[in-house]
Chain A
Amino acid sequence: MTRVLSYLQAVGEALRQEMQHDPSVVVFGEDNIGGTGCDGRLGNAWGPTQGLHEHFPDRVFDTPITEAAFVGAAVGAAATGLRPVADLLFVDFAGVCFDQILNQAAKLRYMTAGKARVPLVLRAMYGAGMRRGAQHSQVLYPIFAHVPGLKVVLPATPADAKGLMAAAIRDDDPVIFFEHKMLYFSHGEVPEPPYVVPLGQARIARPGRDCTIVALGRMVAEAEKAADVLAAEGIECEVVDPRTISPLDIETIYDSVRRTGHLVVADEATPRCGVAGDIAALVAEHAFHALRGPVRTVTAPHAPVPFTPALEDAYTPGADQIVTAVRATIPAFAGQERAS
């Protein structure tokens, strides 16, 4: 019997099951219960924490708008016996608590030669598409992946959202858990019993022999659409979803490129100093001889995310650009396209 959940429900189920399984797991953020201190009913929370406080009234908390304090408190609590899951809401708000992430959470284990561990999950909603404008739509995972001491997770499917959240909570290091706001209401099959998707294991979302498309987060579904279009033209793409970018399962990417000889990386982030460029560079350095065409990257432009739908839609990369990039990286096909 298959069971279908939304991405949002899948994250919520992982939270509930992990709290059940481990009494040291606590969950907090702004309106994670929703309505505390008010006269009406509680429960204005939306998102994965909805209803959670009914199961665990002593382990789910609302916070004041104090990210520097509560994210820092999550670090301190993690270092002293709890497994906090703190909610940043929009990843853009990391701006007001970056010290606690960058200098505290990321550094404690190393600076103490392993005497301290920080089993913390920081939930962060990201991505363009909801017309939220430049301060609520960023795709900031490259910034976090840049920092040694942080793990960075970006599930693309409901099943992975559940398994990766469980893995993130059980992990002994700080994990930044990126939830794409436009994937929240995407649906997929999700097994009911608790399970873990290990951090650092890529998934072959679709096998193919002609071109590897490494796609991140929301771009996985776009790459699959592109692969359908290209399959109709006789190009079989292999779609690789790294699932976590720190650690990054680069071996699966090398293996795939060794089989296909071609690489396109699709990443919704801005292009400079990002993950797409990093993967391209790693492949150029370590699997150069496998390449039979130039590596192409598909990213957002180097610009903030615009508000208006007309511009935001033009901003966000998608299947069309991936199709174009694949054609451009396969020389025979690029020629064919020119001829047609």
Chain B
Amino acid sequence: MPDHPRPDRAELIDIYRTMRTIREFEERVHTEFPGGEIPGAVHLYAGQEAVATGVCTVLTGDDYIASTHRGHGHAIAKGCDVTAMMLEIYGRAGGLCGGKGGSMHIADFGRGMLGANGVAAGGVPLSCGSALSAKVRGTDQVSVAFVGDGGANQGAFAESLVLAAVWQLPIVFVVEDNGYAQATGTRFHLGGKDIAPRAEALGIPAAVVDGYDVLAVREAAAGAVQRARSGGGPTLLDCKAHRFFGHMEGWDQQAYRAEGEVDRLRAEQDCLQLFAIRALEDEWLTTAEIAEIDAAVRALIDHAVEEAKSAKDPDISELLTDVYVTY
């Protein structure tokens, strides 16, 4: 491996804990959702944990990410508080955005998480902006723009690639190609197999990355982040990943997926399982350590859900705060 060290044991444990936290969070939101206490639109990240985790493990607390409508994983990997996230998803006082944002708008600027986004590719230009900001302010902060395969078809994404290339911005575009935009397959909507060549056409280094393997993502991200941090400009990582749940909770019967597709993915293409098997084989972790992490994570998520269920609604006076001008 080139310019960056292999992850040490502490980082490997962190990587596992982060991926497990995302998975547990999402599985739990999925089981809680039919109870009716979680309002609105929730898009789950389960299956794609290796991408958020592999990227964010090479970022510092000061670096920026901009996320998508499927943003819980990015937020957790960037260090957002899971209880405050859960409160937000339940729309409660004390939520990360005071209950005014919800799942699709979780943001934590203090941790460099510039927000999930309700608009496909809506966050990508914002990342160009945080990258410009770092460059002008003379810091070495790096910005990461997450976008789906579907969102990558937006003009805003294409234009952001151009701007980043021309301004040589310290940015990494991370495409998460999970095979679908809602119910429409990439085979139909992408106009080609990969997104990577779109960046290459502009002189932006790009790679297709196995988003099932967190260490492959980490390695690609480490190179890209180092390039950005050292003034080498933008990179695009085209990560192939898998979505375990439907597009959106409570809505999607997934009739468009092949018979048994999700079961097969869960059995054969689960990034957590892959990591755990390797961790045991290479003796980074013992079975007991894994069980211990799993139990701690479960307790954390249990606590978050309990807090969210018992928390109060935001006060009505919040309706007109942060509007700049009211009449």
The listed residue (A64, A92, A314) touching B153 by CB distance below 8 A is A64
* Complexed CA–CA distance, A41 and B286 (Å): 43
Contact with B along A203-242 (1 / 0, CB 8 A): 0000000000000000000000000000000000000000
Interface SS of chain A? loop
Given contacts A37-B184, A133-B102, A135-B119, contact A44 B39 (CB under 8 A): no
Residues of B within 8 A of A95 (CB): 119
Q: B314 near A: Cβ within 8 Å?
A: yes
Given contacts A96-B156, A304-B323, contact A131 B119 (CB under 8 A): no
> B3-21: which residues lie under 8 A (CB-CB) from chain A?
none
Q: Does B104 contact A310, Cβ atoms closer than 8 Å?
A: no
Contact with A along B147-159 (1 / 0, CB 8 A): 0001101111000
* Complexed CA–CA distance, A5 and B292 (Å): 56
Q: Which residue of A lies closest to B179 (CB)?
A: A38
Contact with B along A274-292 (1 / 0, CB 8 A): 0000000000000000000
* Complexed CA–CA distance, A309 and B37 (Å): 10
Residues of A within 8 A of B316 (CB): 310-311, 314
Given contacts A34-B184, A36-B184, A310-B99, contact A64 B189 (CB under 8 A): yes
Query: In the complex, which of the residues B100, B253, B323 has the most CB atoms of chain A within 10 Å of its own CB atom?
Result: B100
Interface residues on A, range: 35 or more
Given contacts A44-B183, A303-B323, contact A133 B105 (CB under 8 A): yes
Residues of A within 8 A of B2 (CB): none
> A240-274: which residues lie under 8 A (CB-CB) from chain B?
271-272
* Complexed CA–CA distance, A37 and B150 (Å): 13
Q: Does B39 contact A302, Cβ atoms closer than 8 Å?
A: no
> B107-158: which residues lie under 8 A (CB-CB) from chain A?
117-122, 150-151, 153-156
A-B contact count (CB 8 A): 177
Residues of A within 8 A of B257 (CB): 38-40
* Complexed CA–CA distance, A131 and B102 (Å): 9
Q: A182 near B: Cβ within 8 Å?
A: no
* Complexed CA–CA distance, A92 and B256 (Å): 26
* Complexed CA–CA distance, A134 and B122 (Å): 13
Q: How far is the CB of B319 from chain A (nearest CB, A)?
A: 5
Q: Does A133 contact B314, Cβ atoms closer than 8 Å?
A: no
Q: B165 near A: Cβ within 8 Å?
A: no
Query: In the complex, which of the residues B95, B188, B259, B313 has the most CB atoms of chain A within 10 Å of its own CB atom?
Result: B188
Q: How far is the CB of A89 from chain B (nearest CB, A)?
A: 10
Q: Does A35 contact B184, Cβ atoms closer than 8 Å?
A: yes
* Complexed CA–CA distance, A95 and B119 (Å): 9
Q: B101 near A: Cβ within 8 Å?
A: yes
Q: How far is the CB of A164 from chain B (nearest CB, A)?
A: 27
Q: Which residue of A lies closest to B323 (CB)?
A: A303
Residues of B within 8 A of A123 (CB): none
Q: Does B100 contact A307, Cβ atoms closer than 8 Å?
A: yes
Query: In the complex, which of the residues A65, A69, A96, A308 has the most CB atoms of chain B within 10 Å of its own CB atom?
Result: A308
Given contacts A96-B154, A130-B40, A136-B118, contact A311 B319 (CB under 8 A): yes
Q: How far is the CB of A279 from chain B (nearest CB, A)?
A: 18
Residues of A within 8 A of B323 (CB): 302-304
Q: B173 near A: Cβ within 8 Å?
A: no
Q: B91 near A: Cβ within 8 Å?
A: yes
Q: How far is the CB of B301 from chain A (nearest CB, A)?
A: 21
Q: Which residue of B lies closest to A315 (CB)?
A: B319
Q: How far is the CB of A158 from chain B (nearest CB, A)?
A: 22
Contact with A along B306-327 (1 / 0, CB 8 A): 0000000110101110010111
Q: B180 near A: Cβ within 8 Å?
A: yes
* Complexed CA–CA distance, A95 and B121 (Å): 12
Residues of B within 8 A of A272 (CB): 327
Q: A42 near B: Cβ within 8 Å?
A: yes
Query: CB within 8 Å of A: which residues of B?
Result: 39-41, 91-92, 95, 99-102, 104-105, 117-122, 150-151, 153-156, 180-191, 251-259, 261, 313-314, 316, 318-320, 323, 325-327
Across the A-B interface, the 5 shortest Cβ-Cβ residue pairs: A37-B188, A35-B256, A308-B91, A37-B185, A135-B118
Interface pairs (11), CB distance under 8 Å: A31-B183, A37-B189, A44-B255, A66-B155, A68-B155, A131-B41, A131-B91, A134-B105, A307-B105, A310-B91, A311-B316
Q: A131-B91, A132-B41 are in contact. List 7 more A-B contacts (CB 8 A).
A: A36-B184, A37-B185, A38-B184, A42-B256, A131-B102, A133-B40, A315-B319
